[in-house]
Structure 1
Amino acid sequence: MKVVIIEDEDLAAESLESLLLKSKYEITIVARLENIKQAKEWFTNNSCDLIFSDISLGDGESFEIFNALNIQIPIIFTTAFDHFAVQSFQFFAIDYLLKPYNKQKLDKALEKYINFVGSKKESDHVENLLERLKTTLPDLQTPQIQNRFLVSQGEELISIKSEEIAYFMAENKSLFLFTRDNQVYLYDSTILNLEDKLAPKEFFKINRKFIISHNAIKSIVKYSQNRLKIELSPSPGSGGPILISSMTINAFKEWLNH
């Protein structure tokens, strides 16, 4: 544990240093600073684990140091007067020791510091976990868009880009992929599983049988008062008209506008 002592009285500083070095904790005194000016200069370029700081110094109150530099290091304030107690806890104070020091009070203050560091590490660990969850959860919650689709043609495997796809058609428990250049492949999936893997701006599920892309639409006509009929290119062949129900029309029109 690297400790800095801010104290302008030699006897008080020596007494504190002696007690610290005799404590059960492994402590190194990295600096002893006697006034505000020295402290500001030292903390501008250096740091430590814990600060013991007298409040009344020869050139003012040590609060000025922590106000000026916004030091985020745990502080144990030391003073001969107790009227500074409330003000000291406006800073990163974990304890407040009245002079003269004794081993029992100092050990309790050091124990508070050790507990503080342990709880802070646990808190930081939780914060890190939360941050990781924040970045991970969107990936877990949002389906991953698939940009390529692997199909087979005889012994050959072919990877088809999503922009080459005209539509998918479900037929007799099978799913077929139609490309814009009129190639047809059997694709190992279902309409239900496929829907969330396609870019929603590019593909739309018009009914239980078809998921289509913008470029597959050859024409759209009113089929009845509350339905639309779509002609696709390339044509899926026979099988009756391709219809969009009244429940889907509004969402379909919104998709077309995008």
Structure 2
Amino acid sequence: MKTIIIEDEKLAADRLNRLIMKVSPDVTVVAILRSVEEAVNYLQSHTPDLILLDIHLSDGSSFEIFDQIHVTSPIIFTTAYHEYALKAFKVNSIDYLLKPIDEVALSAALDKLRQLKTESNASPMGEIEALISMMKKQEISYRQRFLVAFGNKIKTIKTAEVAYIFAADRAVFLVDREGCRYVLDETLDHLQEAVDPNGFFRVNRAFLVGIDAIEQMHSYSRSRIKIELNPPCPKECIVSTERTPDFKGWLSR
């Protein structure tokens, strides 16, 4: 099964590729594309057996692809959409992978696609145009606030007040714009999917940085970027080599 991955984050695409090789050796990833433009150019002359498609790409929404070309390949979306939207995928026989993607979900999605093809001897994409039209009218529901412990009290912090989130000493900390630090009972992987990617960027395994918290940036060794945060952080914040190209693209959106 010749498959393409359309995903603008290199780490996510590489991880998905490794998962595919692990759970389904009969699936071959023949291309990894990172933008609407790349996807349109590729699909004009190629018809893969399967497309694994991220909803948000570096140059816009993946739904823009379908405005420009007619796609007949089955699609499994990778998404952070909330539950009511995910149910629509199920109803229309189009599967999804909720980030962060795991082996079990990926294997089940591929098995479902094989079963659909076997039963109908056709692509399970007959209603994709209607689904895409519906999804364009929906908006992703990003996290609006955080619930944190404050001494022996509990308080909420609006996402707009969050400067950055980082992991240290086996804990995850939220730092607000005033420099106050709170412990969160969530992983950075989960938080990365919960916040608006236009406002926050995962610069490395330990930091999820808000764009307004970036005070200064400096060139660093091995093509990395060192970030000075405001409020300051005791932990050094350096954009990893792998994430630097995506980080630069994010800054220039």
TM-score, normalized by length of structure 2? 0.45
Higher relative contact order (CA 8 A, sep 6+): 2
Greater Rg over alpha carbons, structure = 1
TM-score, normalized by length of structure 1? 0.44
